[in-house]
Amino acid sequence: MCAAALPVLASKHNLDAEMQWCDALPFHDTRVFLANSEKSGITVSIIAFVFTIKFLCELAARVVSFLQNEDRGRRGDHTIYDYVRGNYLDPRSCKVTWDWKDPQEVGHTMTFRVYLFYKNGQPFPANRPVGLRVQISHVELALDIPVTQEVLQEPNVVKVVFTVRKAGRYEITVKLRGLNVAYSPYYKIFQPGTVVPSKTKIAYHFSTLVLTIEQQHAIQIEPRDEYGNPTSNSVSLIDEENYNVQVHELGTQNEENPENYYSKSVLSSKLQCQVLLRLTVRKKGCFRACISYHNQPISNGEFDIIVLSAVEAAVCSAARVFDHFP
């Protein structure tokens, strides 16, 4: 007997043995056995059907994803095996990592990395043309930030470098062939830098300040960083002791200690992003004042002061009222 006939005879022998076993069972038990066998067959068929549908759906999804992501001119370079195996660049499989920890101040060179992957999770060579586009823009201002891209020695990594100088919230969009990478767009907030005296200024500039003796006057100071950003989020508004004002009398050789005839206090306002310097002069005359931060004059912090008595101030006020009438 040939070897090819042996499986058939064995199968026939097993079937005959099973039928003999069924004949030996009572009639009721035989029906139960056949019913259970039929249910098991149906269950196996359902499971096989579900797995088949799942496979077909995954296959269709990969084909559709490939057709969406791949350039039309490059589709001919891939076969059906590439669709099935996921052997194509997939933006949703790529990821982005940041080379800094939030929050960060403006003015620093920032970098992040884009990791390229095939649909099947394998690294995609970054030295191949992939059409990577990165756009960084200020959310509130019509301002786009230039970026540079650098392919690293790692096979699938592209490093993006940029610098922001305006504080605020930025939108970072990373796209591959027109489709967003992973969770793009991303949003990052960059805070103002430290206070720079040459950029800090008095809010309402004046060359001469007229005061009444013993009456307090508030001067509004606007702290700014190196790039002119209001320093509302930096330490500038909690270092009031670093603001100072020096007042000395003009035209006299008096050696009197200036602090004997004037006093100051400094308060900060985060809401208005200002520092309020309250100045009180207790002596009549003409004076020269200079406001400084860390002993460096602010941009427009030098001005003259004329201090009047209460009577002189009242006369001047009446004269201004009189000037309004013909």
In a shared domain, residues 212 and 316: yes
Q: Which tens digit of pLDDT belongs to each residue from 35-46?
A: 555 656 677 677
> Of 160, 191, 222, which closes a domain?
191
Give the sign of the dihedral formed by CA 188, CA 194, CA 197, CA 203: positive
In a shared domain, residues 181 and 210: no
Domain assignment of residue 234, yes or no: yes
What DSSP string describes 79-123? -HHHHHHT-SB-GGG-EEEESS-SSEETTSEEEEEEE-BBTTSPB
Q: Which tens digit of pLDDT belongs to each residue from 46-93?
A: 777 776 777 666 666 655 555 555 554 444 455 666 666 778 889 999
> Do the bridges between strand 95-98 and strand 109-115 make them parallel or antiparallel, or are there none, so unpaired?
antiparallel
What DSSP string describes 188-218? EEEE-----TTT-EESS--SEEEEETT--EE
* pLDDT given at position 255: 62
* pLDDT given at position 65: 56
Long-range contacts: 53-60, Cβ < 8 Å, 24+?
59/83, 59/84
> Of 142, 159, 191, which closes a domain?
191
In a shared domain, residues 275 and 300: yes
Domain assignment of residue 72, yes or no: no
In a shared domain, residues 238 and 261: yes
Neighbours of 98 (CB within 10 A): 14
The pTM is what? 0.69
In a shared domain, residues 180 and 239: no
In a shared domain, residues 233 and 209: yes
Q: State the burial class of residue 176 (Cβ atoms within 10 Å of its Cβ: 0-12, 13-18, 19+).
A: buried
In a shared domain, residues 219 and 171: no
Give the range of the structural domain holding residue 124, as residue numbers without chain letter: 91-191
Token pair listed for 72: 């039309």
Domain assignment of residue 145, yes or no: yes
In a shared domain, residues 153 and 214: no
Domain assignment of residue 276, yes or no: yes
In a shared domain, residues 269 and 300: yes
Domain assignment of residue 61, yes or no: no
Q: Which tens digit of pLDDT belongs to each residue from 114-165?
A: 999 999 999 999 988 888 999 999 999 989 999 999 998 888 999 999 999 9
Share in percent of the chain as helix, strand, coil (round to 5): 30, 35, 35
Look at residues 264, 301, 306 and name the one whose alpha carbon lies nearest to residue 284: 306
Token pair listed for 90: 């997939």
* pLDDT given at position 317: 75
β-bridge mates for residue 285, sequence order = 307
Token pair listed for 64: 């559709």
Q: How many domains does the chain have?
A: 3
Domain assignment of residue 82, yes or no: no
> Of 157, 191, 225, which closes a domain?
191
111: which residues sit within 8 A by CB, 6+ positions away? 99, 100, 159, 160, 161, 162
Domain assignment of residue 57, yes or no: no
The more confidently predicted of residues 23 and 282 is 282
Domain assignment of residue 196, yes or no: no
Look at residues 207, 186, 210 and name the one whose alpha carbon lies nearest to residue 285: 210
SS3 annotation, 230-261: ECCCCHHHHCHHHEEEEEEECCCCCCCCHHHC
In a shared domain, residues 172 and 209: no
In a shared domain, residues 105 and 27: no
In a shared domain, residues 232 and 179: no
Cα–Cα distance for residue pair 297/224, rounded to 1 Å: 13
The more confidently predicted of residues 13 and 294 is 294
Cα–Cα distance for residue pair 27/73, rounded to 1 Å: 70
CATH number for 284: 2.60.40.10
